Amino acid sequence: MIDCSFPAARLRRTRVGSWCRDLVAETTLAPSDLIWPMFITEGAGVEEPIATLPGVSRCSVDKLVGQAREARALGIPCIALFPNTPPGLRTEDASEALNPDNLICRAIRAVKDAVPEIGILTDVALDPYTADGHDGITDEAGYVLNDETSKILVEQALVQASAGADIVAPSDMMDGRVGAIRKALEEDGHPNVQIMAYAAKYASAFYGPFRDAVGSRGLLKGDKKSYQMDPRNSTEALREVAMDIAEGADHVMVKPGLPYLDIVRRVKERFEIPVFAYQVSGEYAMIEAAAAAGAGDRDALVLETLIAFKRAGCVGVLSYHAPVAARLLGA
């Protein structure tokens, strides 16, 4: 039994100095907990700032390789790559997603050549390639078709795996796609390519800057509520996770991050699988805006939010603040 009687119990005793705060800390944060998402664009020597994501740029492949080296030097084990596809290559059938020489595949090969030790995670979804910015292909009424989309996602995952992706991360929320992708990876000779399922991905207002970064915001027709989850639901997230695990996911992800830590905690308590969260673009932007307005210290906000993910049960976090945090953690 815990003795709660004062003064035998003085909870401030173990807070008296940083040495003993460190000693009793229940959670730790290290650069190895972080995945750094990066945006890619065509060209050479290009670093285009993203207005709604201050401090983050779209990089051409050569510059991206430099960032991958930086990630490695900072002790960040994995990077996540997102392409900004030129408008002329966006079509109704998203065929550019299956081009083995598309921007993401060239980026994967360049990073693998230059920094072979770093893990590469790629998004499996069609929104960088569709004319209407949806994650799948649509019928005449604008409804995103599940099984037809799933077939293309399988091909997209194979194209990425063949280029050298280590983790494919379906972010599309089609039913059944994890199983279909796992089967195809096995049959196509990629038994060690991992799947991180965006298992509980919510239809969120926090994705705005990301859509600017990949160039899909202005294109998007309607919303994604017919495939992404309703923020009012929590138990449904457990069904999503259970299905993705049954279908062969190696990791599951909850997204967005901070507003959904209750989901992280429920998933962590229920399942024996690594749980990740994505601290998404709108969350990054909020922290930057708060700091710019003088409402809080940026570095402290970054570290406090990242430790919150670990405390909630995450084994790792995707965050645009990954390099900032890794530097603060003194890699």
**Residues recognised as catalytic:** 201, 255
Distance in Å, CB of 220 to ligand PBG, minimum: 8
CA of residue 254 relative to chain centroid, distance: 9
Quick note: the x/- pattern for ligand PBG over 26-55, rule CB under 6 A, is: ------------------------------
Q: Which is nearer to ligand PBG, 125 or 159 (CB)?
A: 125
Distance in Å, CB of 113 to ligand PBG, minimum: 25
Q: Which is nearer to ligand PBG, 5 or 259 (CB)?
A: 259
Q: Tell me how far CA of residue 49 lies from CA of 71, 95, 237, 304, in angstroms.
A: 19, 28, 35, 26
Q: Which is nearer to ligand PBG, 109 or 211 (CB)?
A: 211
197 lies in the binding site for ligand PBG (CB under 6 A): no
Q: Tell me how far CA of residue 247 lies from CA of 144, 199, 200, 243, in angstroms.
A: 22, 11, 15, 6
Among 281, 287, 309, 325, binds ligand PBG (CB under 6 A): 281
Distance in Å, CB of 310 to ligand PBG, minimum: 19
Distance in Å, CB of 37 to ligand PBG, minimum: 7
Q: Tell me how far CA of residue 55 lies from CA of 108, 156, 258, 270, 284, in angstroms.
A: 23, 30, 20, 37, 10
Distance in Å, CB of 269 to ligand PBG, minimum: 25
Residues in binding contact with ligand PBG, number by CB under 6 A: 12
Distance in Å, CB of 8 to ligand PBG, minimum: 48
Stretch that binds ligand PBG, among 121-129, 185-193, 263-271, 307-315 (CB under 6 A): 121-129
212 lies in the binding site for ligand PBG (CB under 6 A): no
127 lies in the binding site for ligand PBG (CB under 6 A): yes
Among 33, 135, 212, 240, binds ligand PBG (CB under 6 A): 135
Q: Measuring CA to CA, which residue among 312, 156, 280, 143 is closest to residue 210?
A: 280
280 lies in the binding site for ligand PBG (CB under 6 A): yes
Distance in Å, CB of 11 to ligand PBG, minimum: 38
202 lies in the binding site for ligand PBG (CB under 6 A): no
CA of residue 275 relative to chain centroid, distance: 12
The Cα 231–Cα 225 span in angstroms is: 10
240 lies in the binding site for ligand PBG (CB under 6 A): no
94 lies in the binding site for ligand PBG (CB under 6 A): no
Q: Indicate the residue whose CB is closest to ligand PBG.
A: 210
Among 36, 202, 207, 276, binds ligand PBG (CB under 6 A): 207
123 lies in the binding site for ligand PBG (CB under 6 A): yes
Stretch that binds ligand PBG, among 87-95, 159-167, 186-194, 205-213 (CB under 6 A): 205-213
The Cα 210–Cα 207 span in angstroms is: 5
> Applying CB under 6 A, which residues contact ligand PBG?
123, 125, 127, 135, 171-172, 207, 210-211, 224, 280-281
